[in-house]
Amino acid sequence: MVRAVLHGVITIFISAIICSFIFALLLKLTSYDETSLRWVMHVLAFLSLFFGGLIAGGKGKVRGWLLGGAASIIFTTIIFLFQFLGMNQMFSLEQWGYHAGFLITAMVGGMIGVNVATSKSRSA
């Protein structure tokens, strides 16, 4: 189970880094500004958490909601510690709302991941 959660967290961070790199290039090389891409960035953040939960649930094969939730909580903890220790700022109410949404999204991804992994192993 620990490996499944670790795979999920790694998936979340890799997809977040790739998305951040692409958006940094878009912002640098085009006339777009952050406000015009705000909702696209939010959707991709939720997709990153969903896929992280999906991977965690698929690898764990049981209790996908718990594995996806654990991956999301670890992600939130790392982001919180980075912001608190590195930038000396607490989460705002808006950030807590986003991370609560991330938790629910990763849990749903974990539930779907368990069902996809279980249905593949049954048909084999």
Residue 67's nearest CA partner among 76, 78, 77, 54 is 54
Is the pTM higher than 0.85?
Answer: yes
pLDDT tens figures, 6-50? 999 999 999 999 999 999 999 999 888 888 888 999 999 999 999
- Predicted confidence at residue 124, as pLDDT, reads 56
Give the pLDDT confidence score for residue 53 in this predicted structure: 95
Instruction: Give the tens place of pLDDT for each residue, 102-118.
Output: 999 999 999 999 998 77
> What's the chain's Rg over C-alpha atoms?
16
The pLDDT score that the predictor gives to residue 95 is 94
How far is C-alpha 76 from the geometric centre of its chain's CA atoms?
Answer: 9
pLDDT of residue 120: 67
For residue 36, give Cα distances in angstroms to 21, 23, 67, 71, 97. Answer: 17, 11, 34, 30, 21
d(CA 58, CA 60): 6
Q: In angstroms, what CA-CA distances link 113 with 1, 74, 81?
A: 14, 18, 28
Q: What is the model's pLDDT at position 121?
A: 61
Domain positions in the chain: 1-123
Residue 122 predicted with pLDDT over 80: no
